[in-house]
């Protein structure tokens, strides 16, 4: 099974890199930079570390292209996908978090990770709001709101957004980077906001991710923390 997971990862990673380079070469995608790469997040999902990854590019049109030109042919239609526990869909209903609209994003999730998660009911509830088994009837206009805490659990984000003026001034940016011989310079894999008191738990979270992706994909992770104080 590990071999098939690695094959899925490599297929997606290589296709994503090629697609991004082609977009940039055509100068058709302002804002599409290295930080738009999602292969690290997908590696975390494939490794069973996080239940899902949310993919949102600088525009809805680009996200749709990415879904059709990368996710579908190089992940969903890959021969190893059927034997995996992954699902991949576009979010088509009117739904948002308190911070941003989510309609038009792509979502990849790991059914097995969700079933075995200590908060599986909460995760499945958020997933059903984003990608319900059956879509709302035509003409339905009510916008669904998914809480930030449910999104954080679904995406396995160990930090939280500031909830007060004081927390805004204490806010940290935490990021995980790939830094090894396979890349010419460090590559950002994921980033999130956090509070100083969350750092011990984040260190444990990072070590779990580091160990798993090293053994499965040969990726060396580095942790970076910086203040976002205004």
CA angle centred on 173, ends 172 and 177, rounded to 5°? 145
Task: Return the pLDDT at 94.
Answer: 93
What is the structure's pLDDT at 29? 58
Place of tokens 């070590």: 207
pTM: 0.91
HSE, side-chain direction, 13 A CA sphere, residue 39: 25
Q: What pLDDT, on a 0 to 100 scale, did the predictor assign at position 138?
A: 52
Structure tokens at 221: 């992770």
Q: What is the structure's pLDDT at 135?
A: 60
Q: Element (H or E) spanning 127, and its range?
A: helix 120-130
Residue from 174, 170, 182 nearest 209 by CA: 174
Looking at residue 35, what is its pLDDT?
Answer: 58
Q: pLDDT by residue (tens digit) across 122-150?
A: 999 999 999 998 765 555 568 899 999 99
> Which parts of the chain sit beneath pLDDT 70?
1, 27-35, 135-141, 229-230
Predicted pLDDT at 181: 86
| Residue 33: per-residue pLDDT | 63
**pLDDT recorded at residue 228:** 81
| Burial classification of residue 86, based on how many CB atoms lie within 10 Å of its CB (0-12 exposed, 13-18 middle, 19 or more buried) | buried
CA atoms of 129 and 185, how far apart (whole Å): 38
| CA distances from residue 53 to 24, 151, 182, 190 in whole angstroms, order as listed | 23, 10, 23, 10
């Amino acid at each position: 099974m590990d071999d098939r997971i690695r094959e899925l990862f490599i297929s997606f990673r290589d296709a994503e890199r090629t697609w991004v380079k082609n977009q940039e070469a055509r100068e058709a995608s302002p804002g599409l930079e290295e930080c738009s790469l999602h292969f690290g997040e997908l590696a975390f999902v494939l490794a069973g570390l996080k239940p899902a990854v949310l993919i949102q590019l600088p525009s809805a049109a680009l996200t749709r292209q990415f879904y059709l030109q990368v996710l579908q042919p190089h992940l969903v239609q890959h021969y190893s996908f059927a034997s995996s526990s992954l699902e991949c869909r576009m979010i088509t209903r009117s739904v948002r978090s308190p911070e941003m609209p989510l309609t038009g994003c792509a979502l990849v999730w790991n059914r097995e990770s969700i079933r075995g998660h200590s908060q599986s009911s909460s995760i499945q509830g958020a997933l059903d709001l984003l990608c319900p088994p059956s879509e709302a009837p035509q003409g339905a206009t009510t916008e669904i709101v998914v809480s930030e805490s449910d999104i954080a659990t679904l995406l396995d984000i160990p930090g939280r957004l500031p909830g007060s003026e004081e927390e805004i001034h204490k806010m940290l940016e935490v990021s995980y980077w790939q830094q090894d011989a396979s890349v010419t310079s460090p590559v950002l894999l994921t980033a999130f906001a956090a509070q100083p008191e969350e750092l011990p738990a984040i260190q444990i979270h990072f070590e779990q991710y580091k160990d798993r992706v090293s053994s499965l994909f040969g990726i060396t992770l580095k942790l970076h923390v910086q203040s976002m104080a205004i």
